[in-house]
Amino acid sequence: MLHGWGMNSAVWDGCPDCWDGFAQHRIDLPGHGHSPFPPALDNLWRWADACLEAAPERAVWLGWSLGGLVALAAALRAPKRVAGLILLTATPRFVRATDWTPAMEESTLDQFHAGLTQDPKGTLERFLALQVRGSEAARDTLRTLKQELAQRPEPDPDALSLGLDLLRDEDLRGQLPDIKCPALWLFGSHDALVPQGVAERVELLMPGARTHIVQRAAHAPHLSHPGETASLIRSFVDACVEPDA
């Protein structure tokens, strides 16, 4: 289970218990939570390697947002170790391009980059607010996120900066067909960071992948719509592996 940018593994505490019979492995991304951030971890593939080192030999990988990008890289890096992929409001390319319109403007990430230097805490607060914008449960979801993040150390500023670079620069669209394991992509209909239009693009780029849009959810459907999200995840995991396997 891989969290998103600026988050930590405590974000999964607010999820309903849909994991009976399965072991959870909650991994902090490099420089987030309790995870160290050595200088060598300077690109997406090394972040994926670090997560693979912390993960069991074979598992279903769940990645939220930036964590989804890392999970995709892990599946490409070590396909035999990934039994399935759950991409939670994730995308193979986060910024807009002429051939990829369902994405955020690059200027949005540039603003966060500038804010990190001037006001790191305030920048994280604005990012949290953006993640819940549009959700029917925005206020409660934001409160939950803040409570959970406070349980771990603040992220390393250098890791935050590199994470924004990954969100801006990485593009795994061309490699999606190389991923052969079962995949479930979950989107929020009101997501301001990863528009729901990514779903139809993924269906073209990754034949066989399942997609689902959680209505009236923003960027954190596992917190704003926990029951529906948990049910979708549970049925997918059941189809990938047997309990207690």
- The predicted-structure confidence for 93-112, as pLDDT tens digits, reads as follows 999 999 999 999 999 899 99
Q: What is the pLDDT of residues 178-227, one digit of tens each?
A: 999 999 999 999 998 999 999 999 999 998 999 999 999 999 998 889 88
Beta carbons of 123 and 115 less than 8 angstroms apart? yes
> In the block, which residue shows the tokens 């994991």?
19
The whole-chain average pLDDT of the chain stands at 91
* Phi, psi at 108, each rounded to 5°: -65, -45
Where are the domains positioned within the chain? 9-240
- Specify the pLDDT at position 147: 83
Q: Which of 3, 191, 222, 224 is catalytic?
A: 191
Tell me, yes or no, if 191 is annotated catalytic: yes
Instruction: Give the 3-state secondary structure of residue 210.
Output: strand
pTM higher than the cut 0.85: yes
Pick out the residues of the known binding site: 5, 65-66, 127-131, 219
pLDDT in tens, 113-170: 899 888 888 888 888 888 888 777 788 888 888 887 888 888 999 999 999 999 999 9
Catalytic residue, chosen from 32, 190, 219, 222, is 219
Superfamily of domain 9-240: Alpha/Beta hydrolase fold, catalytic domain (3.40.50.1820)
**Confidence band (pLDDT; 50, 70, 90) for 13?**
confident
Beta bridge partners of 59: 82
Query: Is the per-residue pLDDT at 14 higher than 80?
Result: no
Tokens of 165: 């670079």
Question: What's residue 244's pLDDT?
Answer: 45
* CA separation for the pair 46, 137 (Å, rounded): 36
Q: Determine whether 161 is an active site residue.
A: no
Q: Which helix (H) or strand (E) holds 184?
A: strand 183-188
The residues with which 214 forms a beta bridge, in sequence order, are 188
Predicted confidence band of residue 68 (pLDDT cuts 50, 70, 90): very high
pLDDT at 76: 98
- List residues forming the annotated binding site for substrate: 5, 65-66, 127-131, 219
Catalytic residue, chosen from 35, 65, 135, 224, is 65
